[in-house]
Chains A and B, each alone.
Chain A
Amino acid sequence: MEFFQYLGAATRESFTKLGRASYFLIGMLSGISSVLIRPCLLLKQMHSVGVLSFLIITISGLFVGMVLGLQGFYILSRFGAEETLGVMVAASLVRELGPVVAALLFAGRAGSALTAEIGLMKATEQLSGMEMMAIDPIKRIISPRFLAGFLSMPLLAALFSAVGIIGGQIVGCGLLGVDDGAYWSQMNANLDFQKDIINGIIKSVVFGFVTSWIALFEGYDAIPTAEGVSRATTRTVVNSAFSILGLDFILTALMFGDN
């Protein structure tokens, strides 16, 4: 009985939270117009969200591509199909790993930082202070960060994929002796712009949207104490990971389901 009471309370709490989050999202989106008038706000956030994630994304992308090159080569060479290594590496990166891994890294690197920053601003009454200065903190603080995350994500995912493909080429062609021409031409012939690249970008745009939303909302909704902020940061990473992977399944089913 107690268990069901707990379950009911937890369900209700999560719906309440979703409601608050949706309300927050509307405020955040309506603040975007005011960010566009002042691009210097956006620039600053692009720096902290995008530029500072650049290194982790490129290095991870390179290694993921290299691993794909190695693993792909071992499997494909059993069937005598090493020439299709480029297709394998590029397709897995562009369709799945690029958007998903980049988004997971983004949630860990930029998302948690955003939550902690907003949570601490709340804990130190900075948000309240801005409100009393007649400055809307959602417009001034949240919206630029959201837009920056939303715009950075596809760029980061594209970077991840591109660097990964080059990593796969370094390992496949440089170390394992796959023909360089075959690597690129097979990739070129078998990947479709619409189906693979555009869908990959759509995925990363969705992930960027969701991750930034979760990170900012958890920060804004955090209990303004040290413990509250740390728990909110954890929730950001966990919830982002769940949302990214769950949405990835849905998006993949929608995009590639007909084939």
Chain B
Amino acid sequence: MNNRSHNTNNLVSVNNLTFSRGTRKIFDDISLEFERGKITAIMGPSGTGKTTLLKLIGGQLFPQTGNIMVNGRDVHHLKRDELYTLRKRMGMLFQSGALLTDITVFDNVAYPLREHSHLPESMIRSLVLMKLEAVGLRGARDLMPNELSGGMARRVALARAIALDPMMIMYDEPFTGQDPISMGALVHLIKSLNTTLSLTSIVVSHDVHETAAIADYIYVLSEGKVVGQGTPQEIKESPSEWVQQFMNGAADGPVHFHYPAKDYMDDLLHTEKTLFSRKRLIGEKPAKRRRYS
């Protein structure tokens, strides 16, 4: 870990971050480093706040303590304009795609270009077609978002995310709910875009195999802490029981199958007791109860 931290080659670094929602601590003093030009994955079970982490990096949420440096700037101490300038260089791929539903695929990809650049329409057209070609959907430019499958929508969203030629892309659960073919397409895309556009990628996922196949470095999060980190190989060989359970998808292990609860037998008996007492309270005769049982 020490060789990764405070490295000037890190595009994003999360330092001693604590974030809570209400009384629930989502992150408890965690530190992560994301190296330039690499694909770094954040893994962990559902509900560990992986998406929240991306929103924190994007400056949409504010941490209680700690800071997040992106390209040498503290995201949460930027002025609004500066944050927006920074965001132009951060692409984000949402789980649902987050395409604007009232305009076509073409206009969706052209959207950030039209908003932020004053390029002539002919140049926007060429740029959009290039981006769509990169994700293999140039032919789908006139479709509306509701005519796309989930995987296609995500690819269009990816084309939109790279429209402004960002320095980094954050992928929020890119593989969830995909059939094997579109999953394969996405894995390939993330890898190839990262090399051809020399991007820095942050992939949030709980799909072990796909992520391990493309990631250069993996952080495993659980209950607000980093429980494991390293290259995919290191993670696979991790001595931590917890990491092993997660990587192999075992039903029971350090993370129990059962949600924390009191003793099973006690619980059942207790229910029975309250049933009895309630019946007595409303003055029902036991004989009447027998009829139902």
Contact = CB atoms under 8 A, between A and B. Distances in A.
Instruction: Give yes or no for direct A-B contact (beta carbon below 8 Å).
Output: yes
Interface of A: 120-121, 124-126, 128-129, 131-136, 140
A177 B263 CA distance: 86
B151 interface: no
B133 to A, nearest CB: 21
Given A124-B96, A129-B99, A131-B60, 17 more contacts: A121-B100, A124-B101, A126-B98, A126-B99, A128-B55, A128-B60, A128-B94, A129-B157, A131-B87, A132-B58, A132-B87, A132-B90, A132-B91, A133-B115, A133-B160, A134-B112, A134-B116
Interface string B55-72: 100101000000000000
A130 B99 CA distance: 9
Given A131-B60, A132-B92, A135-B115, A126 B100 contact: yes
Interface of B: 55, 58, 60, 84-85, 87-88, 90-92, 94-96, 98-101, 111-112, 115-116, 157, 160, 164
Contacts of B96: 124-125
9 contacts: A121-B100, A121-B101, A125-B95, A128-B55, A129-B94, A129-B99, A131-B58, A132-B60, A132-B91
From A133, A134, A136, name the one whose CB has the most chain B CB atoms within 10 angstroms: A133
A128 B88 contact: no
A126 B96 CA distance: 9
A125 B94 contact: yes
A133 B95 contact: no
Contacts of A132: 58, 60, 87, 90-92, 94
A125 B96 CA distance: 7
A125 B99 CA distance: 8
B85 A134 contact: yes
B88 to A, nearest CB: 4
Q: Which 8 residue pairs spanning A and B have beta carbons closest together?
A: A129-B98, A134-B87, A125-B98, A132-B92, A134-B84, A134-B88, A125-B94, A133-B112
A124 B98 contact: yes
A22 to B, nearest CB: 19
From A120, A135, A140, name the one whose CB has the most chain B CB atoms within 10 angstroms: A135
A120 B98 CA distance: 11
A140 B94 contact: no
Contact of B101 (A126, A128, A136): A126
A121 B90 CA distance: 21
Nearest to B86: A134
A198 to B, nearest CB: 37
Contacts of B58: 131-132
A115 to B, nearest CB: 16
A124 B85 CA distance: 24
B112 A135 contact: yes
A136 B100 CA distance: 14
Contacts of B111: 133, 135
From B91, B96, B157, name the one whose CB has the most chain A CB atoms within 10 angstroms: B96
B64 to A, nearest CB: 20
A129 B55 CA distance: 11
B30 to A, nearest CB: 22
A48 to B, nearest CB: 10
Nearest to A140: B115
A130 B126 CA distance: 22
Contacts of A136: 84
A28 to B, nearest CB: 16
Nearest to A131: B60
A136 B116 CA distance: 12
From B90, B98, B116, B164, name the one whose CB has the most chain A CB atoms within 10 angstroms: B98
A133 B91 CA distance: 7
Contacts of B85: 134
B261 to A, nearest CB: 27
Nearest to A127: B98
A128 B60 CA distance: 8
Contacts of B112: 133-135
Nearest to B98: A129
Nearest to B95: A125
A176 B55 CA distance: 68
Contacts of A124: 96, 98, 101
A136 B83 CA distance: 11
A125 B55 CA distance: 12
A221 B63 CA distance: 21
Contacts of A134: 84-85, 87-88, 112, 116
Nearest to B89: A134
Contacts of A125: 94-96, 98
B185 to A, nearest CB: 21
Contacts of B87: 131-134
Nearest to A120: B101
Contacts of A133: 87-88, 111-112, 115, 160, 164
Nearest to A135: B115
Contacts of B164: 133
Given A135-B112, A135-B115, A129 B92 contact: yes
